[in-house]
Amino acid sequence: MDQLTLITFLPLVGALLVLLTPASQEKALRAIALVTTLVVAVLGVQLYLAFDGSSAALQFLVDKAWFVLPGSAIPVRYKLGVDGLSILMVALTAVMMPTVILSTWGHVHKRVKEFMLWMLVMQTGMLGVFVAHDLVLFYFFWEVSLIPLYFIVGIWGGERRLYATIKFFLYTLAGSLVMLVAVIAIIYQFRTADIPTLCEQASSLALSKQVWLFAAFALAFSIKVPLLPFHTWLADAHTEAPTSGSVVLAGVLLKMGTYGLLRFGIDMFPGAALEHAPLFMALGAIGIVYGAFLAMAQTDVKRLIACSSVSHLGYVVLGMFALTYAGLSGSILQMVNHGISTGLLFLLIGMIYERRHTRALDQFGGIAATMPIFAFFLVFTVLSSAALPGLNGFVGEYLILLGAFQAKPLWAIIAVLGVIFGAVYLLMATRRVLFGPVTHEENKHLEDLNAREVVLMLPLVILAVWIGFQPKPFLDRTQGSLERLVQKIEVARGAQNASLEVPTTEESVR
């Protein structure tokens, strides 16, 4: 069996094993899930190491017949592959899952069997989204990956879990179904569902048609990211989800949105992307500041991190739509960084919640004294999230701001303000949790982190430092594909300038 099929569907095999194991065997169920995700992680790292970053071509290609649409005889194929745009996402998904599974030891005590089942199914769905290179296949993975999280939030979530899970599902579905019409339209327009072919040919469409298709795709992905006006589902979903659900949601699921914008927004419709880049940069930059203000006003720690997610994903969109090499590479790296830091934050909040059963900021204070190990990890993560030089967040944000400055200095300046606000709310929250006098009796006798909790965070912590000090190997993986993409954007820019005749502002910036 080829490598990509194996890595994508191995979790599903694990899910089948879970299904066949009796529900009373909780230890065995957890073990199956952990071992499966560990094997997938090893395969993911192997894939990452074997990947040639200097090439723009699809690698580890699998291409088999699946079915043929009747009448028009358009083949729909089982086509998998990775390129520079997706390799980091695949590796991230593979590496994060063992951590997620290990974290469930602490907070999933009921219906363990179903939980492990949905987690494993979700991993297949997420990996599938990143490796699918047939548009119909992609759409299958895209929509199916909704279902596991729907169950995870709905069964294991908090008080308002039903409201949150329906909101999450319907919001995302509305975007997806509008996208479905665009998917159908583009497939019948070019009589193929092959994504690389479509990416090549779609830029030849008339700009007016491109814009509509782009809008439909971008709507679906913007809701998933979520970009500014669509962000309300995220806070609810994050707050109500169990810790592991939040980690997967922030770590990987939201990246499906940004990845989609990159692959189907920019790569497929470069002309339309150029046309609308100012809008997206504005939404990104405003999202950064707005998310930061939202976060400042929160009293629930988990909601605070959810709002910070909105802010951080604003960077990703800002950098992406700067449409420069620096901005694009920074935004891909920032997707990974956000997964690591926000994932860690949710894990840490989950650990403290397991001990105190509250997430209200004013219930904490002075915990650094009773839980020094916890305090160390929290401070480390907050600094990584606030983009301290030497940690992962810095590299990504720097590249993004550089790229944005090259394209539209105004939005870069606004985004820099966001960096400051980001540091403010993160450090303020940290102070209120960790330092100061112990005001609540319960906080005096908290148990510090145990070995399992430390071990499960270590891979992410190591990655954060590694990316911070040596981002080049990670960035190099994206080089070939990004060079191809930037070249494509330049061609589109040239065509647009030629048609306008009058030199535009983009011209002078360059």
Partner 1 sequence: MNPQDLLQLFDDRALAAVAPLLALAIGIIVLLLSGVIRAFESLRAPIVVATLAFTGWLVASNFATVPGSVIDGTYIADRASSAWGLLFVVATLLAWLFSHRYYAESERPFQVEHDVLMLTTPLGMMLMAGAANLIVFFIGLEVLSIPLYALASFRRSRARSVEAGLKYFLLGAFAAAFFLYGSSLIYAATGSLQLAEIKAIGLHGPLALGGVALVMASLFFKISVFPFHLWVPDVYQGSPTPVTALMATGTKAAAFAFLINTMFMLPKSAALAVAVVALVTMALGNLGALAQTDVKRMLAYSGIAHAGTVLLVVAGTLAGDPESSGALHAALFYMGAYVFTAAGAFGLLALLERDGERFTTLEALKGLAQRRPFVAAALTIFMLSLGGMPLTGGFLGKWMVFSSLVRAGLIWPAVVGALLSVIAFGYYLRVVIALYMQPVSERDAALPSGQTSAGSAAPAAIAAAVCAVLVLVMGTLPGLFLDRLP
Chain residues that interact with partner 1, rule: CB under 8 A: 66-72, 139-140, 143-144, 147, 150-151, 154-155, 161-162, 165-166, 169-170, 173-174, 177-178, 180-181, 184-185, 187-188
- Token pair 């046309």 is found at 275
Q: Token digits for 225?
A: 């990211």
Which of 135, 486 has the CB closer to partner 1?
135
- The CA distance from 376 to 266, in Å, is 40
Query: Whose Cβ is closer to partner 1: residue 146's or residue 438's?
Result: 146
Backbone angles phi, psi at 303, to 5 degrees: -65, -35
Residues 6 or more apart in contact with residue 175 via CB below 8 angstroms: 219, 220, 221, 222, 223, 224, 230
Collapsing DSSP to helix, strand or coil, 437 comes out as coil
Q: Where are the beta strands (DSSP E) in 74-219?
A: 74-82
The β-bridge partners of 67 are 76
Question: Quick one: 156 or 321, whose CB is closer to partner 1?
Answer: 156
Considering the complex, state which of residue 151 and residue 353 has its C-beta at the smaller distance from partner 1: 151
Nearest CB to partner 1, comparing residues 151 and 405: 151
How far, in Å, CA of 105 to CA of 102, rounded? 6
Is the separation of the CB atoms in 120 and 12 below 8 Å? yes
Nearest approach, Cβ of 183 to partner 1 (angstroms)? 9
Dihedral over Cα of 201, 206, 209, 212: its sign = positive
Q: How many residues does the chain have?
A: 510
**Sequence letter at residue 138:** F
Q: Is the dihedral of CA 131, 133, 137, 142 positive or negative?
A: positive
Cβ proximity of 137 and 77 under 8 Å: yes
Least distance in angstroms from the C-beta of 72 to partner 1:
6
The DSSP-derived string for 276-293 is HHHHHHHHHHHHHHHHHH
Question: Shortest gap between Cβ of 154 and partner 1 (angstroms)?
Answer: 4
HSE, side-chain direction, 13 A CA sphere, residue 493: 21
Task: Name the minimum Å distance from CB 24 to partner 1.
Answer: 14
Looking at the Cβ atoms of 206 and 502, the one nearer to partner 1 is: 206
**Segment 488-494 long-range contacts (CB within 8 Å, at least 24 positions apart):** 488/203, 488/267, 488/270, 489/266, 489/270, 489/273, 489/274, 489/323, 491/203, 491/270, 492/203, 492/270, 492/271, 492/273, 492/274, 493/274
User: Is the CB of 177 or the CB of 297 nearer to partner 1?
Assistant: 177
Whichever of 172 and 478 has its CB closer to partner 1, that residue is 172
Q: How far is the CB of 185 from partner 1 (least distance, A)?
A: 5
Of the pair 173, 388, the CB lying nearest partner 1 is at 173
CB of 179 to partner 1, least distance (A): 9
Instruction: State the DSSP code for 450.
Output: -
Residue 44 CB, shortest distance to partner 1, in Å, is: 24
CA 369 to chain centre: 34
Least distance from C-beta 224 to partner 1, angstroms?
15
Rg over CA atoms, the chain: 22
Q: Residue 302 Cβ, how far from partner 1 at the closest point, in Å?
A: 20
In the three-class reduction of DSSP (H, G, I as helix; E, B as strand; rest coil), residue 410 is classed as: helix
Taking the least distance from each CB to partner 1, the nearer of 28 and 185 is: 185
> Measured from the CB atom, is 177 or 417 closer to partner 1?
177
Q: How far is the CB of 212 from partner 1 (least distance, A)?
A: 8
